[in-house]
């Protein structure tokens, strides 16, 4: 069997759209009666809770409450749909290089998995993305209740692949300490800098373009 490859999602396969995320959260604020800057800051501070514990609606209710507001179910639903629409747009906008790379890896026989620190709106929208059919295994932190860099989340992917972590390659930009986490789980790592140079101090191998990955694996 060709080497299993496990990918990160945001800033590795697709753009993270960080500025657009902040803009959309700011637009959600008046829908639930809070200040835009305060809600954006609350979203940033609550990242870990959002990727392992809270639904979109939970997030809006909890953060609004912390900011002194008590939105109605209708207000929460409106703000939640605004957020979900953003995530659908992001997941629909996949660079052509990414799709060609995944198709080439699959054609070469590589089992492919995804491990993503993601909120529930990403997991909900995933099945409509052009990426979905290209992966054998998908592990979202919001579904399994554990997030990178915890080695357990990587082992969830390798267990589902039926692969030994030592035989797998993890590919990511380096956010959330994910490269160190993959190494701790026993995997080889490859940092990709094409969409975001997130962890420039990582000492392991790096690749400037994800499109070079199939040829690199063929040489190895």
pLDDT in tens, 192-206: 999 999 999 999 999
User: What confidence score (pLDDT) does residue 178 get?
Assistant: 98
Q: Are residues 101 and 210 in the same domain?
A: yes
User: H helices within 139-198, ranges in order?
Assistant: 141-144, 151-161, 178-184
How many domains does the chain contain in total? 2
* Residue that has been written with the tokens 């939640």 in this structure: 80
Q: Mean of the pLDDT values across residues 27-52?
A: 98
User: What confidence score (pLDDT) does residue 1 get?
Assistant: 73
User: What confidence score (pLDDT) does residue 160 get?
Assistant: 98
Residue 32 CA: distances (Å) to CA of 16, 59, 166, 197: 25, 12, 48, 35
Q: Are residues 66 and 104 in the same domain?
A: no
Q: Are residues 82 and 114 in the same domain?
A: no
Q: Are 119 and 56 in contact (CB under 8 A)?
A: yes
Rounded Cα–Cα distance for residues 211 and 115 (Å): 19
User: What confidence score (pLDDT) does residue 59 get?
Assistant: 98
Q: Are residues 205 and 100 in the same domain?
A: yes
Q: Mean of the pLDDT values across residues 124-148?
A: 97
Q: Which structural domain, as residue segments, surrounds residue 72? A: 18-91
User: What confidence score (pLDDT) does residue 220 get?
Assistant: 77
Residue 174 has pLDDT above 80, yes or no: yes
Q: Mean of the pLDDT values across residues 32-43?
A: 98
């Amino acid at each position: 069997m060709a080497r299993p490859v496990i990918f990160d999602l945001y800033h590795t396969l697709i753009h993270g759209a960080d500025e657009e995320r902040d803009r959309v959260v700011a637009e959600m604020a008046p829908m639930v009666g809070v200040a835009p800057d305060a809600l954006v800051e609350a979203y940033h501070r609550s990242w870990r809770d959002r990727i392992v514990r809270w639904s979109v609606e939970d997030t809006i209710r909890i953060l609004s409450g912390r900011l002194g507001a008590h939105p109605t179910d209708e207000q929460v639903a409106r703000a939640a749909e605004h957020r979900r629409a953003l995530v659908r747009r992001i997941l629909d906008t996949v660079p052509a290089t990414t799709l060609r790379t995944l198709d080439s890896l699959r054609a070469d026989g590589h089992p492919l998995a995804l491990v993503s620190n993601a909120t529930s709106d990403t997991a909900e929208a995933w099945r409509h993305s052009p990426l979905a059919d290209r992966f054998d295994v998908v592990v979202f932190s919001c579904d399994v209740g554990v997030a990178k860099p915890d080695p357990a989340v990587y082992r969830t992917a390798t267990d589902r692949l039926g692969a030994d972590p030592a035989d797998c390659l993890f590919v990511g930009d380096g956010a959330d300490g994910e490269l160190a986490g993959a190494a701790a789980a026993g995997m080889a790592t490859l940092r990709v800098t094409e969409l975001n140079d997130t962890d420039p101090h990582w000492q392991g191998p790096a690749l400037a373009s994800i499109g070079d990955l199939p040829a690199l694996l063929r040489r190895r």
